[in-house]
Structure 1
């Protein structure tokens, strides 16, 4: 991830959902994902702040057929911020987005005011069991039905709980399945092969930035789902331990998509953290006084 050699040599123009006004909060999605899948956060935050939720290269409407490396995401995001004339900003990253958020904080300590890391880690580790053909079949059927009839309890009980959704969520509620219908399916379908390959290459290389985290001094909020099998809560806790100025929250009976399981609790904790660290949303003029 941190290699300076890349396969492409110019930033990719990113599609981005920009809403609200006020201090900028850059919201980075995971894999699979797109800017719209961050709506659980942006809908809540944009009445008070400007939220910027891009489709990363190879995701959503930021389409490409060309190969690229993970470092290219960083240059794409930097070009987007320059295009939007954003100088200082707060970062919120979910899963892969959290990894990119940490990389941006390391590259731009003078611009990043704070970090909110959701189901992410500087040394990501998973505990996902092998995937069977039955898992794939139940996931496909459940996903299609849920897209047509969102949050149908019969589908949740018959197929959802037996699908791969059981590793993404623990609380099989109508609300969680509504988010899956609204954003989950489209995010999966709009994730490209080059994006999958870039992420797999970084993980295969053994991505690990723990030793660099001491360089990040801005306030950080690290949130994890206790039953996360994609990026374990222990790896998120390890990241929080290496960050100098961090708060760690682990939510019981939740998994990788915990913001869709317990949105009110997660958003309330984000609000409280921002209230305790008002400098993360202060303009440079105010913070310099």
Structure 2
């Protein structure tokens, strides 16, 4: 499996540019694929959109893998990207030879969390996302110690997104099922990464996933919050490369 590529799926409400701080260090050792998910970045929403669901985002990824003639990949995702990875495992587990789950969780939203997502989706569609979305999210995305340039980058990435894509992702996340049943039966090497100060998908949620997975390793990134690939890219890259060299090299 040494020649498997690594597909990394970005968080909400971002696009593949969130992986730029890791790109050079990862591509020196691994074939890296980082698509924009539907409605975000350069990937538009389809003209005909059904009731939002992450299974459709997973099918988008399967179509990309087919186009690239990739039968099997190591699949990774941060936050929303992790949810999409688990949605793909539900419909096509044979396409996944390894898994990287970063700052995400396997449990479904609580009723309150789902309601909050739906309210935010309505506001994004009615008002756009300028200013208020980034302001409301930033305190939970980065630690108090995050450098100013990282904060600016996160804000810029959020504010560059399409309100319709933001709304679609929110509704799809609100509707997602619990995925512990998918993880429990997964027999591939898995790396679980979480920021020590992540309040959205905290270390205990990461440990629950690692405990459910038959073949997993857990790495907690000291001093970082929910967006470890942006706040602590070196530590995340080191964790992935070290795990990769032990499990997929040679």
Per the normalisation by structure 1, the TM-score is 0.69
Aligned to 1:67: 49
Q: Secondary structure at the match of 1:110?
A: helix
2:200 equivalent to 1:218: no
Q: Distance in 1 between matches of 2:176 and 2:33?
A: 30
Aligned to 2:77: 93
Distance apart, 1:171 and its partner CA: 4.6
Contact in 2 for aligned 1:60/1:190 (Cα 8 Å): yes
Aligned to 1:11: none
**Alignment CA distance shift 1:214-1:173 (3 Å):** closer
The gaps in structure 2 that reach 5 residues or longer are 117-129
Distance apart, 1:227 and its partner CA: 2.1
Q: Distance in 2 between matches of 1:63 and 1:187?
A: 16
Contact in 2 for aligned 1:225/1:255 (Cα 8 Å): yes
Contact in 2 for aligned 1:24/1:52 (Cα 8 Å): yes
The gaps in structure 1 that reach 5 residues or longer are 1-21, 131-138, 144-159, 283-289
Aligned residues: 228
Q: Distance in 2 between matches of 1:40 and 1:207?
A: 31
Q: Distance in 2 between matches of 1:39 and 1:106?
A: 29
Q: Residue deviations 1:148-203, cap 9 Å, x none?
A: xxxxxxxxxxxx9xx753321115343xx434444641344214324423433542
Q: Distance in 1 between matches of 2:220 and 2:212?
A: 16
Query: RMSD of aligned C-alpha atoms?
Result: 2.9
Aligned to 1:170: 143
Distance apart, 1:214 and its partner CA: 1.6
Aligned to 1:15: none
Contact in 2 for aligned 1:59/1:187 (Cα 8 Å): no
**Alignment CA distance shift 1:112-1:32 (3 Å):** same
Q: Which has the higher contact order (CA 8 A, sep 6+)?
A: 2
Contact in 2 for aligned 1:91/1:114 (Cα 8 Å): yes
Among candidates 221, 228, 240, match of residue 270 of structure 1: 240
Aligned to 2:125: none
Per the normalisation by structure 2, the TM-score is 0.79
Q: Which moved more, 1:118-127 or 1:243-252?
A: 118-127
Contact in 1 for aligned 2:37/2:43 (Cα 8 Å): yes
Aligned to 2:34: 53
Q: Residue deviations 1:216-264, cap 9 Å, x none?
A: 1101111111222222222222111111111112223321012222222
**Alignment CA distance shift 1:23-1:202 (3 Å):** closer
Q: Distance in 2 between matches of 1:231 and 1:125?
A: 11
